[in-house]
C-alpha cells in the first residue's frame, strides 16, 4: 500500500471549544452579546436588510421594466445602431452595468452603515 497522507482534523482556532478540548466536539453554543452590542447588532441588521430590500427592488424594477419598455414602445425594434436594433442592445448591454452599479451601491451603503 502506498504512503498516504495522515488525516488531520481541522477546527476553527477562534472557538473557545476548540481551544479547551483541542478540537471541537459536540454542539456549538451561540455566543451571547452584551445588551448594548446586541442592540447595535440588531440595528445594523435592520438597516442593512432595508438597504438590501431597496437594492433588490431596484433590480426587479430594472428586469421587469425592460420588457415593459419594449411593450410600450415597439418602434424601438425599428431603430438601429450599427445594424443592431436598439431594443436588443438595451436588453443585452444595459442591465449588466446597472446591476454592477447597484451591487456596488448596496455594498458601499452596507459598509457606511457599519462605520457609523
Burial of residue 91 (number of CB atoms within 10 Å: 0-12, 13-18, 19+): middle
Task: Say which residues have a Cβ less than 8 Å from residue 86's Cβ, sequence separation at least 6.
Answer: 76, 77, 79, 80
What are the boundaries of each domain within the chain? 13-113
Dump pLDDT digits (tens) for 19-63.
665 555 556 677 787 888 889 989 999 999 999 999 999 999 999
pTM flag (> 0.75): no
Q: What is the pLDDT of residue 33?
A: 78
Residues 6+ apart with CB under 8 A from 63: 95
Q: According to the model, what pLDDT value does residue 36 have?
A: 87
Amino acid at each position: 500500500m502506498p504512503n498516504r497522507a495522515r488525516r488531520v482534523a481541522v477546527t476553527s482556532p477562534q472557538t473557545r471549544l476548540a481551544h479547551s478540548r483541542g478540537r471541537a466536539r459536540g454542539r456549538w453554543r451561540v455566543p451571547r452579546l452584551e445588551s448594548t452590542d446586541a442592540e447595535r447588532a440588531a440595528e445594523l441588521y435592520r438597516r442593512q436588510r432595508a438597504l438590501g430590500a431597496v437594492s433588490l427592488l431596484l433590480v426587479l424594477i430594472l428586469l421587469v421594466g425592460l420588457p415593459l419598455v419594449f411593450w410600450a414602445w415597439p418602434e424601438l425594434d425599428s431603430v438601429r445602431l450599427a445594424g443592431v436594433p436598439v431594443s436588443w442592445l438595451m436588453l443585452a448591454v444595459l442591465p449588466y452595468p446597472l446591476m454592477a452599479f447597484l451591487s456596488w451601491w448596496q455594498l458601499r451603503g452596507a459598509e457606511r452603515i457599519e462605520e457609523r
